[in-house]
Chains A and B, each alone.
Chain A
Amino acid sequence: MSEKSTVEFELRTPGIDGQGNPTSHAVGLADDAPDLHSDHMLVNIGPQHPATHGVLRLVAELDGEVVVKLIPHLGYLHSGFEKLGEYRFYNQLIPLTDRMDYLAPMANNVGLALTAEKLMGIEITERCKVLRVIACEMSRIIAHLVWLGTTSIDIGAFTPFLWLFQEREKMYNLQEAWTGARLTTSVTRVGGMMADIPEGFEAGMRKFLLEFPKTLDEVDKILSGNGIWCGRTQGIGIMSAEEAVDYSLSGAMLRASGVPYDVRKDRPYLDYESYDFDIPLGEHGDVFDRYLVRFEEIRQSARILEQALDRLEDGPINVDDPRVILPPKSAAMSEMEAMIFHFKHVMEGVEAPVGEAFCSIEGAKGELGYYLVSDGSAKPVRWRVRPPAFINLAALPKMSEGHLLSDMIAINASIDIVMGEVDR
C-alpha cells in the first residue's frame, strides 16, 4: 500500500511574500544601475484615454518607465457652472449639480438643497430627511460600484466590472423609477423633494439589499486575496495621515490614510448621527487600502439604507410654506392664491435673506461642499462648489512621482475622479 506524501511549497506571487504581505515598494532606479545616458521622455496621456477616466490630460516625464514628473491639465470639461449659477434661481441650480458628479447626481442635489435651506433657514420634514438619506446612500453605492468596476479594468481584471455594472443597473432602475432619469436626476427642491418614492420602490430596494451582498462577496473573493490585484495595489501611491490632511484630501482617500474624518459623523446633517454605521479606516494609505475602505463603505451604505427604509413614515415631503414650495398643479389651475404663488415662483424665484452659508456633505468622492452668498435677491451672488475630486486629484503628482507609469494608472484610478466635477 503506497503512502500518500505531502509536498510543502510556498505559493509565490511577484510583489507578495509567503504571508501575503506586499514586498514591492516605489520602484526607482537602483543605485548600481549602469548609466545608459538615456534621455528623459515626455509622454502625453489623454485627454481622450480610457484610463484617465474622462477628459484628463497628463503630461509625464519618464526616465525609462519611471515617472519623474507629472503635470495634470484640466479644464477640458469646464462648463462655467459657478458663473452660470449667478444667473439662476436657487432651484435652477439643482440641474447644474446633476451634471457635476454625474456618477452620484442625487447626493449632489441633496447637498445643494441643504445649503440653500441653511441659507434661507428652512426646516425640512422628517420624511424628506429620510428620503434624502436614501438618495445619498444610493448615490454612494452607485458611484462606488462604478469606481470598483473601472478601477479593476484599469488594473487588468475585467470580470468584476461586468458583475458590478449588473448590480448598478438594478440600482439605476430604482433611481429611474423615482426620478425619471438615470443621470440627471434633479431629485431635490429647496424645501423638499421633486417627487416621493413610487409604489414598489421600497420592496424593490429591500430585494436589492438582500441579493446585492452576494455579488459583493463574490467580487471580494476574486479581488481581495488575488495576488495580481494585491501586487498591483499594495504599497502603491502611499499618503501618510499627515500628508493626506496637508493635501486637504477627503472621503475614502483621507480615511485610507487612517484619518477618521467623515462629514456624516463629524458635521452631521440629515440626522446621520442617529443612524448606526461604521466608518472604515485604512492603515497604509495605499491604493489597496482605498479599495478596502470603499468596499466597506458600500456595505455600510447598504446598512444605512435598511435603517432608512425602516424609519420611513408617512408624511409630507415638502415644507408647508407656499413661499418656497411650488403649489400643486391642480391648485395652481383652480385657486387664485395658488396661481399667484405659482407665477411668483416661476417668474421671480425664491428670495434668500442677505447672508452666506457653507454646507458640506459626505459625497461619494469626499467632502462635497457648497458655499452660497446671497445679497437678498433670488439669485446667488456667488455659488461655489468645493469639489472633492478636484482637490484629491491635486495630490496625483505627489503620489505618482517615483512610481512606474503603469502604477500611475492604478493611483489615478484609486483617486476616483469624475471630470464633470473636477472641471465644473
Chain B
Amino acid sequence: MNQSVDALRARFGEAIQDHHVSCGDTYVYVDADKVYEILNWLKEEPGQEYDYLVDVTAVEYRDPEPPLEVVYELFSHPRKVPLRLKAKLEKEGDLEIDSVVSIWHGADWLEREVFDMFGIKFRNHPDLRRILMWETYDEGYPLRKDFPLRGRFSRSEQVRRVLKGNPETNYSVEEISIAKDNTSIPDDMRQRLLRGESGNIPDSASEADRV
C-alpha cells in the first residue's frame, strides 16, 4: 500500500474515505468538494511531491447504484511513486467538481474531455467546452451508460440536423470575438454567427434569409 494514504488521513481526516489496493495499485476515495485542496497538498507537500498529473478521467458503472467517479492518476517524478485518487459524484446531484487546471495546466484538455464525454462540470475551468464532439452536439454525453452505442438520435434525425445546421457555427464564441474586429465580415454573416450558437438556424430566420 502507498504510504501517502496514511499521510493523507493524518492531514485531512474525514475527507479521506476508504482506500483499496487493486492489481498492485493503491487508490483512495476522497470527498469531491475537497479534491482541489487535497491534490494541491499532494503536489506541494515535501515528502509527497506528486508533481505529475498522468490522467484525469471518469468511470460510470453498469450497475446504476454506484455514483460516478472522477479519477486522478498521479505520479511523483522525484519519488517514482504512482497514486490514484477518486471522487464520487452522485448521479442525481449537479455533477460538479473543482477544476485542477490552476494546479496543473495539463488538466485543461483532460477535464474538457471528461466534461464532453460524461457531462461533469469543472468549477473554475478557464474554457470548459466540448473537445472531441463538436460544440453544438446535443445528443448528450457519449460515455454515460444511458447513452446508446449508436447515439441517441436516429440516423435520419442526425442527417436532418446536419443539413439544417449552420456551418459557420464551427467557429466558437471565442473565435467570433476575434472575427468581430475584422470589419470585412458581412453584417448578416456576423449576425448569423452570433445567433447560431445552438448549431441550428431558427426556421423563421432561415426563411427570412431566403427572401
Q: If A245-B77, A386-B55 touch, does A423 touch B132 (CB 8 Å cutoff)?
A: yes
Q: If A39-B181, A42-B179 touch, does A83 touch B62 (CB 8 Å cutoff)?
A: no
Q: How far is the CB of B194 from chain A (nearest CB, A)?
A: 15
In the bound complex, how far is the Cα of B55 from the Cα of A379, in angstroms?
22
Q: How far is the CB of A167 from chain B (nearest CB, A)?
A: 33
Could you tell me if B134 and A41 are in contact, using CB atoms closer than 8 angstroms? no
Q: A371 — which chain B residues lie within 8 A by C-beta? A: 55, 57, 71, 73
**B106 contacts the other chain (Cβ, under 8 Å)?**
yes
**A35 contacts the other chain (Cβ, under 8 Å)?**
no
Q: How far is the CB of B133 from chain A (nearest CB, A)?
A: 6
Could you tell me if B23 and A119 are in contact, using CB atoms closer than 8 angstroms? yes
Q: B63 — which chain A residues lie within 8 A by C-beta? A: 375
**B46 contacts the other chain (Cβ, under 8 Å)?**
no
In the bound complex, how far is the Cα of B126 from the Cα of A394, in angstroms?
14
Could you say which of A41, A42, A266 has the most chain B C-beta atoms within 10 Å of its C-beta? A42
Which of A74-82, A148-156, A183-191 forms contacts with chain B?
A74-82
**A267 contacts the other chain (Cβ, under 8 Å)?**
yes
In the bound complex, how far is the Cα of B84 from the Cα of A369, in angstroms?
13
Could you tell me if A75 and B80 are in contact, using CB atoms closer than 8 angstroms? no
**B208 contacts the other chain (Cβ, under 8 Å)?**
no
**A357 contacts the other chain (Cβ, under 8 Å)?**
yes
**B156 contacts the other chain (Cβ, under 8 Å)?**
no
- With an 8 Å Cβ cutoff, the count of chain B residues facing the other chain is 49
Q: How far is the CB of A122 from chain B (nearest CB, A)?
A: 11
Interface residues of B in 31-61 (CB under 8 A from A): 51-55, 57, 59-61
User: Number of A-B pairs whose CB atoms are under 8 Å?
Assistant: 123
Could you tell me if B171 and A59 are in contact, using CB atoms closer than 8 angstroms? yes
Interface residues of B in 143-199 (CB under 8 A from A): 143, 147, 149, 170-172, 174-175, 178-179, 181-183
Q: How far is the CB of B42 from chain A (nearest CB, A)?
A: 14
Could you tell me if A246 and B134 are in contact, using CB atoms closer than 8 angstroms? no
Could you say which of B27, B71, B131 has the most chain A C-beta atoms within 10 Å of its C-beta? B131
Mask for B104-147, Cβ within 8 A of A = 1, else 0? 11111110010001000000000000011110000000110001
**B82 contacts the other chain (Cβ, under 8 Å)?**
yes
**A382 contacts the other chain (Cβ, under 8 Å)?**
yes
**B6 contacts the other chain (Cβ, under 8 Å)?**
no
Could you tell me if B143 and A82 are in contact, using CB atoms closer than 8 angstroms? yes
Q: How far is the CB of A9 from chain B (nearest CB, A)?
A: 47
Could you tell me if A83 and B149 are in contact, using CB atoms closer than 8 angstroms? yes
Q: If A78-B132, A87-B149, A384-B55 touch, does A369 touch B143 (CB 8 Å cutoff)?
A: no
**B3 contacts the other chain (Cβ, under 8 Å)?**
no
Q: How far is the CB of A267 from chain B (nearest CB, A)?
A: 7
Q: A75-B134, A375-B62, A398-B105 are in contact. List 6 more A-B contacts (CB 8 A).
A: A42-B182, A78-B132, A83-B143, A356-B27, A382-B60, A391-B106
On A, residues with C-beta under 8 Å from B are 39-42, 59, 61, 69, 71, 73-75, 78, 80, 82-84, 87, 118-119, 121, 243, 245-249, 259, 261, 266-267, 355-358, 360, 367, 369, 371, 373, 375, 381-382, 384, 386, 390-391, 393-395, 398, 423-424
Pairs across A and B, CB under 8 Å, 12 listed: A40-B181, A59-B175, A61-B175, A82-B117, A83-B147, A371-B55, A371-B73, A375-B63, A381-B59, A382-B57, A386-B55, A391-B110
